[in-house]
Amino acid sequence: MLLRLDKTDTRPLHEQVAAAIRRAVAEGECRPGDRLPSARDLSATLDINVNTVLRGLRELRDEGLLEFRRGRGISVAEGAPARSGLQIKVRELIAEASRLGYSRTDLIDMIRGTTT
Amino acid sequence: MTTGGHAAAPNGGGGKGGHGRAARWVRAGSVAAVAALLAALPWAAHGRLPDRLATHWSGGDTPDGSMPLWAAALFPAGFWLLIAVAVSVRWRCSWPAVRPWRALALAPTATVLVGAQASVVRANLDRTDWHAAREPALDIVLILASAAVAGVVAWLSSTRSTPTPATPAPELRLPEGQRLVWFSRTANPWLQLVATLTGLIAAGALVALAVGLARPSGLWPVCAVCAVASLAGAAFSSVQAKVSEAGLEVSFGPLGWPTRRWSPAAIESARAEHRLPSQVGGWGYRLSGLGTTVMLRAGDCLVIRPRGRHADFAVSVDDAERGAALLNALRRQG
Protein backbone atom coordinates (compact mmCIF):
# COMPACT_ATOMS: atom_id res chain seq x y z
CA MET A 1 0.00 0.00 0.00
CA LEU A 2 1.41 3.34 -1.09
CA LEU A 3 0.50 6.43 0.97
CA ARG A 4 1.07 9.97 -0.28
CA LEU A 5 1.37 12.97 2.02
CA ASP A 6 1.74 16.49 0.73
CA LYS A 7 4.52 18.35 2.54
CA THR A 8 2.96 21.76 1.67
CA ASP A 9 -0.51 20.79 2.95
CA THR A 10 -1.69 23.20 5.65
CA ARG A 11 -4.61 21.13 6.92
CA PRO A 12 -4.38 19.58 10.41
CA LEU A 13 -2.21 16.45 10.42
CA HIS A 14 -5.02 14.06 11.41
CA GLU A 15 -6.99 15.21 8.37
CA GLN A 16 -3.94 14.68 6.16
CA VAL A 17 -3.52 11.13 7.48
CA ALA A 18 -7.21 10.40 6.91
CA ALA A 19 -7.04 11.92 3.39
CA ALA A 20 -3.99 9.82 2.46
CA ILE A 21 -5.64 6.57 3.56
CA ARG A 22 -8.98 7.54 2.00
CA ARG A 23 -7.20 8.09 -1.29
CA ALA A 24 -5.30 4.79 -0.98
CA VAL A 25 -8.62 2.96 -0.43
CA ALA A 26 -10.28 4.78 -3.36
CA GLU A 27 -7.38 4.00 -5.69
CA GLY A 28 -7.46 0.31 -4.78
CA GLU A 29 -4.15 0.36 -2.90
CA CYS A 30 -5.84 -1.79 -0.28
CA ARG A 31 -8.90 -3.93 -0.84
CA PRO A 32 -11.81 -4.65 1.53
CA GLY A 33 -10.67 -7.08 4.25
CA ASP A 34 -7.00 -6.08 3.94
CA ARG A 35 -5.27 -5.29 7.19
CA LEU A 36 -3.86 -1.82 7.60
CA PRO A 37 -0.46 -1.28 9.22
CA SER A 38 -0.87 -0.70 12.96
CA ALA A 39 -1.26 2.86 14.24
CA ARG A 40 2.17 2.49 15.86
CA ASP A 41 3.74 1.52 12.51
CA LEU A 42 1.99 4.34 10.65
CA SER A 43 3.08 6.79 13.32
CA ALA A 44 6.72 5.71 13.15
CA THR A 45 6.87 5.65 9.36
CA LEU A 46 5.02 8.91 8.73
CA ASP A 47 6.80 10.57 11.67
CA ILE A 48 3.46 11.72 13.10
CA ASN A 49 2.31 11.35 16.71
CA VAL A 50 0.43 8.10 17.32
CA ASN A 51 -2.60 9.89 18.81
CA THR A 52 -2.86 12.07 15.71
CA VAL A 53 -2.73 8.95 13.52
CA LEU A 54 -5.42 7.30 15.68
CA ARG A 55 -7.62 10.39 15.36
CA GLY A 56 -7.35 10.17 11.56
CA LEU A 57 -8.12 6.43 11.64
CA ARG A 58 -11.18 7.00 13.84
CA GLU A 59 -12.51 9.57 11.38
CA LEU A 60 -12.27 6.95 8.65
CA ARG A 61 -14.04 4.40 10.85
CA ASP A 62 -16.86 6.90 11.39
CA GLU A 63 -17.09 7.34 7.61
CA GLY A 64 -17.51 3.55 7.35
CA LEU A 65 -14.23 3.01 5.47
CA LEU A 66 -12.36 1.14 8.21
CA GLU A 67 -13.26 -1.50 10.78
CA PHE A 68 -11.55 -1.73 14.15
CA ARG A 69 -11.48 -5.28 15.45
CA ARG A 70 -10.20 -6.21 18.84
CA GLY A 71 -7.09 -8.37 18.51
CA ARG A 72 -7.18 -8.32 14.71
CA GLY A 73 -6.16 -4.74 14.11
CA ILE A 74 -7.65 -2.33 11.62
CA SER A 75 -8.99 -3.52 8.27
CA VAL A 76 -10.66 -2.01 5.23
CA ALA A 77 -14.47 -2.29 5.39
CA GLU A 78 -16.72 -3.91 2.76
CA GLY A 79 -17.74 -1.43 0.08
CA ALA A 80 -15.06 1.01 1.19
CA PRO A 81 -13.55 1.66 -2.28
CA ALA A 82 -16.79 3.06 -3.76
CA ARG A 83 -17.64 4.89 -0.55
CA SER A 84 -14.22 6.50 -0.24
CA GLY A 85 -14.42 7.71 -3.86
CA LEU A 86 -17.75 9.37 -3.05
CA GLN A 87 -16.33 10.84 0.18
CA ILE A 88 -13.49 12.41 -1.77
CA LYS A 89 -15.95 13.93 -4.28
CA VAL A 90 -18.13 15.31 -1.44
CA ARG A 91 -15.09 16.95 0.11
CA GLU A 92 -14.10 18.44 -3.22
CA LEU A 93 -17.65 19.77 -3.64
CA ILE A 94 -17.64 21.38 -0.20
CA ALA A 95 -14.23 22.96 -0.88
CA GLU A 96 -15.38 24.29 -4.26
CA ALA A 97 -18.63 25.66 -2.75
CA SER A 98 -16.81 27.47 0.02
CA ARG A 99 -14.41 28.96 -2.55
CA LEU A 100 -17.45 30.36 -4.38
CA GLY A 101 -18.97 31.66 -1.16
CA TYR A 102 -21.64 29.02 -0.52
CA SER A 103 -22.06 27.55 2.95
CA ARG A 104 -22.73 23.86 3.66
CA THR A 105 -26.40 24.68 4.31
CA ASP A 106 -26.60 26.31 0.87
CA LEU A 107 -25.10 23.17 -0.58
CA ILE A 108 -27.57 20.90 1.23
CA ASP A 109 -30.44 23.08 -0.01
CA MET A 110 -29.07 22.81 -3.53
CA ILE A 111 -28.89 19.02 -3.28
CA ARG A 112 -32.44 18.86 -1.87
CA GLY A 113 -33.69 21.10 -4.65
CA THR A 114 -32.13 19.00 -7.36
CA THR A 115 -34.93 16.95 -8.91
CA THR A 116 -32.95 14.57 -11.12
CA MET B 1 48.29 -30.98 5.15
CA THR B 2 48.98 -28.28 2.61
CA THR B 3 47.31 -30.48 0.02
CA GLY B 4 44.02 -29.79 1.76
CA GLY B 5 43.93 -26.17 0.66
CA HIS B 6 44.82 -27.20 -2.86
CA ALA B 7 41.94 -29.67 -2.95
CA ALA B 8 39.45 -27.07 -1.75
CA ALA B 9 40.18 -24.44 -4.37
CA PRO B 10 38.82 -26.16 -7.49
CA ASN B 11 35.71 -27.32 -5.63
CA GLY B 12 35.03 -23.89 -4.26
CA GLY B 13 35.54 -22.24 -7.61
CA GLY B 14 33.46 -24.85 -9.41
CA GLY B 15 30.14 -23.40 -8.25
CA LYS B 16 29.96 -20.67 -10.88
CA GLY B 17 26.92 -21.27 -13.04
CA GLY B 18 26.59 -20.38 -16.67
CA HIS B 19 29.58 -22.29 -18.06
CA GLY B 20 27.55 -25.53 -17.71
CA ARG B 21 29.65 -28.24 -19.32
CA ALA B 22 33.13 -26.86 -18.61
CA ALA B 23 32.28 -26.24 -14.94
CA ARG B 24 30.91 -29.76 -14.66
CA TRP B 25 34.16 -31.22 -16.03
CA VAL B 26 36.22 -29.10 -13.65
CA ARG B 27 34.12 -30.40 -10.76
CA ALA B 28 34.37 -34.03 -11.88
CA GLY B 29 38.12 -33.57 -12.38
CA SER B 30 38.68 -32.15 -8.93
CA VAL B 31 36.59 -34.91 -7.31
CA ALA B 32 38.70 -37.51 -9.17
CA ALA B 33 41.93 -35.70 -8.24
CA VAL B 34 41.04 -35.79 -4.53
CA ALA B 35 40.19 -39.51 -4.79
CA ALA B 36 43.49 -40.21 -6.56
CA LEU B 37 45.39 -38.22 -3.94
CA LEU B 38 43.73 -40.17 -1.11
CA ALA B 39 44.62 -43.50 -2.71
CA ALA B 40 48.11 -42.48 -3.78
CA LEU B 41 49.33 -41.09 -0.44
CA PRO B 42 49.90 -44.48 1.30
CA TRP B 43 51.14 -46.10 -1.94
CA ALA B 44 53.73 -43.41 -2.48
CA ALA B 45 55.26 -44.19 0.91
CA HIS B 46 54.62 -47.96 0.96
CA GLY B 47 58.34 -48.77 1.16
CA ARG B 48 58.58 -47.08 4.57
CA LEU B 49 55.25 -48.31 6.02
CA PRO B 50 54.41 -51.47 8.01
CA ASP B 51 52.18 -54.17 6.44
CA ARG B 52 49.19 -53.00 8.44
CA LEU B 53 48.67 -49.30 9.12
CA ALA B 54 47.38 -47.92 12.41
CA THR B 55 44.24 -46.02 11.39
CA HIS B 56 42.32 -45.37 14.59
CA TRP B 57 43.12 -43.91 17.99
CA SER B 58 40.57 -43.60 20.78
CA GLY B 59 42.12 -40.74 22.67
CA GLY B 60 45.00 -42.80 24.09
CA ASP B 61 48.53 -42.78 22.80
CA THR B 62 48.40 -46.29 21.31
CA PRO B 63 46.28 -47.10 18.26
CA ASP B 64 43.27 -49.41 18.60
CA GLY B 65 42.43 -50.00 14.93
CA SER B 66 44.39 -51.01 11.86
CA MET B 67 43.96 -51.76 8.17
CA PRO B 68 46.07 -53.47 5.56
CA LEU B 69 47.87 -51.07 3.22
CA TRP B 70 45.46 -51.58 0.30
CA ALA B 71 42.40 -50.95 2.50
CA ALA B 72 43.97 -47.86 4.07
CA ALA B 73 44.54 -46.55 0.54
CA LEU B 74 41.15 -47.44 -0.96
CA PHE B 75 38.76 -46.93 1.97
CA PRO B 76 39.10 -43.12 2.25
CA ALA B 77 39.05 -42.75 -1.55
CA GLY B 78 35.87 -44.84 -1.78
CA PHE B 79 34.30 -42.94 1.09
CA TRP B 80 35.10 -39.65 -0.66
CA LEU B 81 33.62 -40.80 -3.98
CA LEU B 82 30.48 -41.97 -2.20
CA ILE B 83 30.00 -38.55 -0.59
CA ALA B 84 30.74 -36.75 -3.88
CA VAL B 85 28.21 -38.90 -5.76
CA ALA B 86 25.58 -38.48 -3.03
CA VAL B 87 25.92 -34.69 -3.16
CA SER B 88 25.93 -34.72 -6.99
CA VAL B 89 22.66 -36.62 -7.11
CA ARG B 90 21.11 -33.93 -4.96
CA TRP B 91 22.45 -31.20 -7.31
CA ARG B 92 20.83 -32.84 -10.27
CA CYS B 93 17.27 -32.40 -9.05
CA SER B 94 17.75 -29.15 -7.17
CA TRP B 95 17.74 -25.58 -8.45
CA PRO B 96 20.89 -23.71 -9.35
CA ALA B 97 20.37 -21.47 -6.34
CA VAL B 98 21.07 -24.28 -3.90
CA ARG B 99 24.39 -25.02 -5.57
CA PRO B 100 26.87 -23.29 -3.26
CA TRP B 101 26.03 -25.85 -0.59
CA ARG B 102 27.80 -28.57 -2.51
CA ALA B 103 31.05 -26.60 -2.65
CA LEU B 104 30.48 -25.82 1.01
CA ALA B 105 29.99 -29.52 1.79
CA LEU B 106 32.73 -30.91 -0.42
CA ALA B 107 35.61 -28.50 0.21
CA PRO B 108 35.91 -29.12 3.99
CA THR B 109 35.22 -32.87 3.51
CA ALA B 110 38.06 -33.12 0.99
CA THR B 111 40.34 -31.19 3.34
CA VAL B 112 39.52 -33.39 6.32
CA LEU B 113 39.96 -36.63 4.36
CA VAL B 114 43.23 -35.61 2.69
CA GLY B 115 44.54 -34.21 5.98
CA ALA B 116 43.59 -37.35 7.92
CA GLN B 117 45.16 -39.57 5.27
CA ALA B 118 48.38 -37.56 5.33
CA SER B 119 48.46 -37.67 9.11
CA VAL B 120 47.85 -41.48 9.16
CA VAL B 121 50.72 -42.00 6.72
CA ARG B 122 52.98 -39.75 8.77
CA ALA B 123 52.13 -41.54 12.03
CA ASN B 124 52.99 -44.93 10.48
CA LEU B 125 56.09 -43.77 8.64
CA ASP B 126 59.23 -45.84 9.43
CA ARG B 127 57.38 -47.99 12.02
CA THR B 128 57.87 -51.76 11.87
CA ASP B 129 54.56 -52.55 13.56
CA TRP B 130 51.29 -50.59 13.59
CA HIS B 131 51.11 -50.78 17.41
CA ALA B 132 54.11 -48.49 17.56
CA ALA B 133 52.37 -45.65 15.66
CA ARG B 134 51.56 -42.63 17.85
CA GLU B 135 48.48 -40.43 17.76
CA PRO B 136 49.21 -37.23 15.86
CA ALA B 137 47.43 -34.88 18.30
CA LEU B 138 48.54 -31.63 16.73
CA ASP B 139 47.50 -32.87 13.29
CA ILE B 140 43.84 -33.01 14.32
CA VAL B 141 43.88 -29.33 15.24
CA LEU B 142 45.59 -28.48 11.95
CA ILE B 143 43.09 -30.57 9.96
CA LEU B 144 40.10 -28.91 11.61
CA ALA B 145 41.59 -25.46 11.13
CA SER B 146 42.28 -26.02 7.44
CA ALA B 147 38.79 -27.52 7.00
CA ALA B 148 37.36 -24.32 8.44
CA VAL B 149 39.53 -22.25 6.09
CA ALA B 150 38.42 -24.40 3.12
CA GLY B 151 34.79 -23.89 4.14
CA VAL B 152 35.24 -20.11 4.33
CA VAL B 153 37.01 -20.05 0.95
CA ALA B 154 34.21 -22.13 -0.61
CA TRP B 155 31.58 -19.85 0.93
CA LEU B 156 33.23 -16.67 -0.28
CA SER B 157 33.91 -17.94 -3.79
CA SER B 158 30.40 -19.33 -4.23
CA THR B 159 28.50 -16.32 -2.88
CA ARG B 160 30.61 -13.89 -4.87
CA SER B 161 29.22 -15.44 -8.01
CA THR B 162 25.60 -14.43 -7.28
CA PRO B 163 24.67 -12.65 -10.49
CA THR B 164 22.80 -9.36 -10.55
CA PRO B 165 20.12 -9.51 -13.25
CA ALA B 166 20.66 -7.21 -16.19
CA THR B 167 17.08 -5.91 -16.10
CA PRO B 168 16.91 -2.20 -15.26
CA ALA B 169 15.93 -1.42 -11.67
CA PRO B 170 12.39 -0.06 -11.39
CA GLU B 171 12.08 3.54 -10.31
CA LEU B 172 9.15 5.69 -9.22
CA ARG B 173 8.82 9.39 -9.97
CA LEU B 174 8.89 11.29 -6.68
CA PRO B 175 6.65 14.35 -7.12
CA GLU B 176 8.09 17.54 -5.64
CA GLY B 177 6.90 18.27 -2.11
CA GLN B 178 5.26 14.88 -1.57
CA ARG B 179 6.14 12.25 0.93
CA LEU B 180 5.59 8.65 -0.13
CA VAL B 181 5.58 5.63 2.13
CA TRP B 182 4.95 2.01 1.18
CA PHE B 183 3.66 -0.80 3.37
CA SER B 184 3.28 -4.48 2.66
CA ARG B 185 2.81 -7.59 4.72
CA THR B 186 2.58 -11.34 4.20
CA ALA B 187 1.55 -14.11 6.54
CA ASN B 188 1.89 -17.86 6.13
CA PRO B 189 -1.13 -19.56 7.76
CA TRP B 190 0.64 -22.95 7.76
CA LEU B 191 3.57 -21.64 9.75
CA GLN B 192 1.09 -19.96 12.10
CA LEU B 193 -0.68 -23.30 12.54
CA VAL B 194 2.61 -25.12 13.22
CA ALA B 195 3.59 -22.43 15.74
CA THR B 196 0.21 -22.78 17.50
CA LEU B 197 0.34 -26.59 17.59
CA THR B 198 3.92 -26.79 18.87
CA GLY B 199 3.08 -24.06 21.39
CA LEU B 200 0.13 -26.13 22.66
CA ILE B 201 2.33 -29.24 22.93
CA ALA B 202 4.99 -27.27 24.83
CA ALA B 203 2.36 -25.87 27.20
CA GLY B 204 0.84 -29.33 27.68
CA ALA B 205 4.25 -30.82 28.43
CA LEU B 206 4.94 -28.02 30.92
CA VAL B 207 1.65 -28.69 32.72
CA ALA B 208 2.37 -32.45 32.78
CA LEU B 209 5.81 -31.71 34.24
CA ALA B 210 4.36 -29.34 36.84
CA VAL B 211 1.86 -31.87 38.18
CA GLY B 212 4.34 -34.74 37.91
CA LEU B 213 2.41 -36.82 35.35
CA ALA B 214 5.46 -38.02 33.48
CA ARG B 215 9.16 -38.60 33.93
CA PRO B 216 10.95 -35.25 33.70
CA SER B 217 13.90 -36.70 31.77
CA GLY B 218 11.68 -37.69 28.84
CA LEU B 219 9.44 -34.65 28.82
CA TRP B 220 11.89 -31.78 29.23
CA PRO B 221 13.42 -32.15 25.75
CA VAL B 222 9.93 -32.33 24.17
CA CYS B 223 8.89 -29.20 26.01
CA ALA B 224 12.08 -27.31 25.09
CA VAL B 225 12.08 -28.34 21.41
CA CYS B 226 8.39 -27.49 20.97
CA ALA B 227 8.79 -24.14 22.74
CA VAL B 228 11.71 -23.17 20.50
CA ALA B 229 9.87 -24.39 17.36
CA SER B 230 6.78 -22.44 18.39
CA LEU B 231 8.67 -19.19 19.01
CA ALA B 232 10.65 -19.50 15.77
CA GLY B 233 7.49 -20.38 13.83
CA ALA B 234 5.59 -17.46 15.30
CA ALA B 235 8.42 -15.02 14.62
CA PHE B 236 8.72 -16.04 10.97
CA SER B 237 5.06 -16.74 10.19
CA SER B 238 4.39 -13.15 9.20
CA VAL B 239 6.50 -10.30 7.93
CA GLN B 240 5.96 -6.58 7.38
CA ALA B 241 7.98 -4.42 5.03
CA LYS B 242 7.99 -0.62 5.16
CA VAL B 243 9.69 1.81 2.81
CA SER B 244 9.94 5.44 3.87
CA GLU B 245 12.51 8.23 3.84
CA ALA B 246 14.33 6.26 6.57
CA GLY B 247 14.82 3.38 4.12
CA LEU B 248 13.63 -0.19 4.27
CA GLU B 249 12.43 -1.81 7.46
CA VAL B 250 11.53 -5.48 7.61
CA SER B 251 9.98 -6.70 10.84
CA PHE B 252 8.97 -10.22 11.71
CA GLY B 253 6.15 -11.81 13.66
CA PRO B 254 3.03 -10.39 15.26
CA LEU B 255 5.09 -8.25 17.63
CA GLY B 256 7.21 -6.73 14.88
CA TRP B 257 10.35 -8.14 16.43
CA PRO B 258 13.07 -8.86 15.38
CA THR B 259 13.52 -6.04 12.88
CA ARG B 260 16.09 -5.41 10.15
CA ARG B 261 16.69 -1.90 8.79
CA TRP B 262 18.59 -0.40 5.86
CA SER B 263 18.89 3.32 5.20
CA PRO B 264 18.56 4.38 1.53
CA ALA B 265 22.33 5.04 1.46
CA ALA B 266 23.05 1.48 2.61
CA ILE B 267 21.24 -0.01 -0.38
CA GLU B 268 22.94 -0.44 -3.72
CA SER B 269 19.86 -1.43 -5.71
CA ALA B 270 16.35 -2.77 -5.24
CA ARG B 271 14.21 -4.89 -7.54
CA ALA B 272 11.26 -7.26 -7.59
CA GLU B 273 11.77 -10.91 -8.41
CA HIS B 274 9.66 -14.04 -8.68
CA ARG B 275 11.04 -16.65 -6.31
CA LEU B 276 9.92 -20.10 -5.25
CA PRO B 277 10.53 -21.95 -1.96
CA SER B 278 12.29 -24.69 -3.98
CA GLN B 279 14.82 -22.09 -5.21
CA VAL B 280 15.84 -20.96 -1.75
CA GLY B 281 15.53 -24.25 0.11
CA GLY B 282 12.13 -23.99 1.78
CA TRP B 283 9.96 -21.65 3.83
CA GLY B 284 11.05 -19.27 6.56
CA TYR B 285 14.34 -17.42 6.97
CA ARG B 286 16.57 -18.98 4.30
CA LEU B 287 20.23 -18.70 3.40
CA SER B 288 21.10 -19.92 -0.08
CA GLY B 289 23.09 -19.08 -3.17
CA LEU B 290 20.62 -16.25 -3.81
CA GLY B 291 21.55 -14.67 -0.47
CA THR B 292 19.08 -14.35 2.39
CA THR B 293 15.41 -14.88 1.59
CA VAL B 294 12.49 -14.47 3.96
CA MET B 295 10.19 -16.88 2.13
CA LEU B 296 6.60 -17.03 3.34
CA ARG B 297 4.92 -17.79 0.02
CA ALA B 298 5.93 -18.40 -3.58
CA GLY B 299 5.87 -15.40 -5.90
CA ASP B 300 6.75 -11.72 -5.74
CA CYS B 301 9.79 -10.86 -3.62
CA LEU B 302 11.33 -7.50 -2.83
CA VAL B 303 15.08 -7.97 -3.34
CA ILE B 304 17.75 -5.52 -2.21
CA ARG B 305 21.50 -5.60 -2.62
CA PRO B 306 23.03 -3.99 0.50
CA ARG B 307 25.99 -1.76 -0.31
CA GLY B 308 29.34 -3.51 0.01
CA ARG B 309 27.77 -6.98 0.22
CA HIS B 310 28.04 -9.85 -2.22
CA ALA B 311 24.64 -11.36 -1.45
CA ASP B 312 21.06 -10.09 -1.69
CA PHE B 313 18.36 -9.82 0.92
CA ALA B 314 14.88 -10.76 -0.26
CA VAL B 315 11.49 -10.80 1.40
CA SER B 316 8.31 -12.27 -0.09
CA VAL B 317 5.76 -9.47 0.01
CA ASP B 318 2.98 -8.35 -2.33
CA ASP B 319 3.38 -5.34 -4.60
CA ALA B 320 7.18 -5.66 -4.36
CA GLU B 321 7.69 -3.89 -7.69
CA ARG B 322 6.47 -0.55 -6.34
CA GLY B 323 8.31 -0.97 -3.06
CA ALA B 324 11.53 -1.49 -5.00
CA ALA B 325 10.70 1.46 -7.27
CA LEU B 326 10.13 3.76 -4.29
CA LEU B 327 13.31 2.54 -2.62
CA ASN B 328 15.33 3.24 -5.77
CA ALA B 329 13.81 6.72 -6.08
CA LEU B 330 14.61 7.52 -2.43
CA ARG B 331 18.14 6.18 -2.89
CA ARG B 332 18.69 8.44 -5.91
CA GLN B 333 17.26 11.43 -4.08
CA GLY B 334 19.77 10.81 -1.27
Interface confidence (ipTM) of the complex:
0.77
CA angle B164–B166–B171, rounded 5-degree value: 95
Can you point out the beta strands (E) in chain B? 52-57, 63-68, 178-187, 238-244, 247-252, 259-262, 267-275, 284-288, 291-295, 299-306, 313-315
Taking the C-alpha atoms of residue B20 and residue B28, their distance in angstroms, rounded to an integer, is 12
* B185/A37 touch (CB, cutoff 8 Å), yes or no: yes
**pLDDT tier for residue A52 given thresholds of 50, 70 and 90:** very high
Greater confidence (B1 vs B80) lies with B80
How do the domains of chain B map onto residue ranges?
2-159, 189-235, 240-333
Greater confidence (B222 vs B5) lies with B222
**pLDDT tier for residue B90 given thresholds of 50, 70 and 90:** low
Given a contact cutoff of 8 angstroms between Cβ atoms, the answer to whether B205 and B222 are in contact is yes
CB contact set of B81 (below 8 Å; sequence gap of 6+)? B31, B35
Asked whether the whole model's pTM tops 0.90, one would answer no
Given a contact cutoff of 8 angstroms between Cβ atoms, the answer to whether B7 and B30 are in contact is yes
* A45/B244 touch (CB, cutoff 8 Å), yes or no: yes
**How many helical (H) and strand (E) elements, i.e. helices and strands, does chain A have?**
5, 3
Burial code (b: 16+ CB inside 10 Å, e: under 16) for B4-26 equals bbbbbebbbbbbbeeeeeebeeb
Q: Residue A45's closest CA among B20, B112, B244?
A: B244
Which domains can be identified in chain A, with CATH numbers?
Answer: 13-113 (1.10.10.10)
pLDDT in tens, B185-194: 888 888 888 8
Taking the C-alpha atoms of residue B239 and residue B184, their distance in angstroms, rounded to an integer, is 8
Q: Which of A6, A8, A45 sits opposite B181 (nearest CB)?
A: A45
Q: Which of A45, A47, A57, A72 to probe by mutation at the B interface, max B CB count within 10 Å? A: A45
